[in-house]
Amino acid sequence: MTALIIDGKKIAEGIHQEVADTIRKRTAAGYPVPGLATVLIGEDPASQIYVRNKIRTCEKLGIHSVAYTLPADTTLKTLEELINFLNAAPDIHGILVQLPLPEQIDEYRVLSLINPQKDVDGFQPINAGMLSRKNSTPWFIPCTPAGILKLIQSVEPEIAGMEAVVIGRSSIVGMPTAQLLCRNNATVTICHTQTRQLAEVCRRADLLVVAVGHSKLVKADWVKPGAIVIDVGQNRVEDASADKGYVLTGDTDFDAIVPIARAITPVPGGVGPMTIAMLMRNTLSAAIKFSV
């Protein structure tokens, strides 16, 4: 078997197209232009790149974006005032606070301040809680998990009853992905640093999602033949021969897994573009919900 390489970039572009078309039609009909505020605190280089890409994509699709860049020593009080202002701003439909936050800022408190109806990241505790509850519907589903589900469904639309293993339990990716797969009726196991016999658990997976930030952790013999493998890793590995001095690797041993899996996402070009596409979709959906 040779795995299908899931083209996240192409799938994301299709979503961009849909979002841009809808925005064009809605604005022509007199509805407001969707607005996204991004809040970046500190100078983490990876966060700067992520936020820049989000803003660029907004511009491309016709979403109004306002970028707030604050110093690393920003106080909770300043952030509170900014978020209160954005919660009340009529031209802002979505608020995104880029994570991680500097250490002195309590992430949970900051996320709690966001109006759940503007929480396009789906991290506000009300939305996060609703994701974990049966028979309740969050206003927004976190972007990376939503993108992962789309990528899986591009290969296998119905995942009910499938054995899913998620490695990683972060609040941004691992945990909400596990919850989302469970909501879609997969049988889900969450693995983490304390998991025993990790390789053995992985070998049970029809769907294997890896989000740990450990370059090439998952080896070929961890993968069940015919599994769908989603690699969320974006690891910068030093490489003097590369233009940038580093290469980007995933959390799986991609080349070795290709002959075994049914499908696998590449790094780059797999999950990364989907996170932004789902953010654009969530922002449009926030604007639509606000204007009904």
Near ligand GUN in 162-201, by CB under 6 A: 172
Complex with ligand GUN: residue 261 or 277, whichever CB lies closer: 277
Helix, coil or strand: residue 210 = strand
Residues 271 and 266: their CA atoms lie apart, in Å, by 8
Strand partners, 235: 249
Which residue lies nearer to ligand GUN by CB, 98 or 265? 98
Closest alpha carbon to 53 in 232, 230, 275: 275
CA 83 to chain centre: 22
Q: Which listed range, 78-86, 92-100, 179-187, 265-273, lies at the site for ligand GUN (CB under 6 A)?
A: 92-100
At 219, list the tokens.
């080896």
Q: Is 51 exposed, middle or buried (0-12, 13-18, 19+ CB in 10 A)?
A: buried
Dihedral Cα 172, 228, 210, 125, nearest 10 deg: 20
54 is a catalytic site residue = yes
Q: What is the DSSP string of 20-85?
A: HHHHHHHHHTTPPPPEEEEEEES--HHHHHHHHHHHHHHHHHT-EEEEEEE-TT--HHHHHHHHHH
Does 144 bind ligand GUN (CB under 6 A)? Our answer is yes
Q: Least distance from C-beta 187 to ligand GUN, angstroms?
A: 26
Instruction: From the candidates 118, 119, 121, 150, give the one annotated as an active-site residue.
Output: 121
The answer to whether 275 contacts ligand GUN (rule: CB under 6 A) is: yes
Q: Binding residue for ligand GUN (CB under 6 A) from 41, 95, 143, 211?
A: 143
Helix (H) or strand (E) holding 280: helix 271-290
Could you say whether residue 280 binds ligand GUN (CB under 6 A)? Answer: no
Q: Of residues 11, 97, 210, 274, which one binds ligand GUN by CB under 6 A?
A: 97
Looking at the Cβ atoms of 172 and 209, the one nearer to ligand GUN is 172
Residues 209-238 that bind ligand GUN (CB under 6 A): none
Choose one: 68-76, 93-101, 216-224, 247-255; the region binding ligand GUN (CB under 6 A).
Answer: 93-101
Is 121 a residue of the active site?
Answer: yes
Known catalytic residues are 54, 98, 121
Interface with ligand GUN (CB under 6 A): 96-99, 121, 143-144, 172, 275
